[in-house]
């Protein structure tokens, strides 16, 4: 947060997925563009829940209320989440009017039975699928095949169309997401908003040939890695060239969306250190 700035900074909450812990790199880079950013851990960090069934959406409401109450932050916030964090971002955007600009990255349009959550102590409905659809090859799991097999029902789908009329959405979606059927999910939620007469509140960007781990620019492409909570190697998709190109595109879209909906961030003061230019 800018201590030398007396106006209101556009403020954003930033979360990731089931990898857990506290990940601050994206928040730091957003801060370098002039946003006030809260990098929020919610799982497997210090005294936070170790099990997914302990998660409460109200935890995020507390963070929203705190960040928006600060004297130098905007009253309406942005929210960005990746993977499970994208699903949480959607739920938060539906429930909490203080959110104005929501960016889900590669999320699902429901909570599956492995990722339950509560609000006000009441569990959300979760969707179950047939584990036979889990695609395991050479010890590497492709989770998207399982999620794609889960039928959508009105009981389990996120009712995004009930969001406030001035909450805006930009779904950033990888075209080769091997961990989630994120393009399908984004289109399902987009269509619900369109059918409710809220089509002007949503946009979907498909980043072709990119994988699930859509990071800020110049982060290396990761095709597969060990997932400690799943207990297996998982394949994420994408290739080196298209991931690099897509991440630059994603970053530009993200900055433009938050600047448009939350207000342009203040210019950073001149930096007299050794590095004169950033390419982010």
Q: What is the DSSP letter of 268?
A: P
- Residue 209 is a catalytic residue: no
Six token digits for residue 8: 């209101």
Q: What Å distances lie between residue 183 and 16, 17, 156, CA to CA?
A: 18, 17, 18
177, 182, 185, 221: which one is catalytic? 177
39, 83, 144, 182: which one is catalytic? 83
| Interstrand relation of 135-137 and 140-142 (parallel, antiparallel or unpaired) | antiparallel
Short-list 91, 95, 58, 97, CA closest to 77: 97
C-alpha count within 13 angstroms, C-beta hemisphere, residue 156: 17
95, 109, 170, 212: which one is catalytic? 212
Contacts of 274 (CB under 8 A, 6+ apart): none
Q: Tell me which residues are annotated as active site.
A: 83, 177, 212
């Amino acid at each position: 947060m800018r201590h030398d700035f007396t106006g209101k900074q556009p403020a954003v909450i930033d979360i990731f997925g089931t990898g857990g812990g506290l990940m601050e790199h994206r928040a730091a880079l957003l801060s370098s563009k002039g946003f006030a950013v809260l990098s929020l851990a919610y799982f497997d960090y210090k005294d936070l829940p170790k099990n997914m069934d302990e998660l409460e959406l109200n935890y995020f409401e507390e963070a929203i209320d705190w960040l928006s109450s600060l004297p130098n932050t905007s009253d309406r916030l942005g929210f960005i989440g990746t993977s499970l964090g994208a699903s949480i971002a959607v739920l938060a955007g539906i429930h909490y009017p203080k959110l104005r600009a929501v960016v889900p990255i590669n999320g699902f349009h429901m909570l599956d039975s492995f990722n339950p959550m509560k609000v006000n102590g009441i569990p959300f409905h979760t969707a179950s699928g047939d584990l036979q659809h889990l695609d395991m090859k050479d010890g590497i799991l492709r989770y998207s095949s399982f999620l794609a097999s889960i039928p959508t029902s009105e009981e389990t789908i996120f009712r995004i169309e009930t969001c406030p009329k001035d909450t805006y959405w930009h779904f950033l979606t990888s075209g080769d997401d091997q961990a989630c059927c994120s393009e399908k999910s984004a289109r399902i939620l987009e269509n619900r908003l369109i059918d409710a007469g809220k089509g002007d509140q949503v946009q979907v960007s498909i980043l072709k040939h990119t994988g699930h781990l859509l990071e800020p620019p110049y982060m290396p492409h990761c095709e597969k890695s060990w997932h400690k909570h799943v207990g297996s190697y998982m394949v994420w998709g994408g290739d080196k060239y298209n991931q690099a190109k897509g991440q630059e595109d994603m970053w530009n879209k993200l900055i433009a969306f938050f600047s448009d909906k939350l207000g342009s961030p203040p210019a950073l003061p001149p930096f007299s250190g050794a590095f004169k230019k950033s390419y982010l």
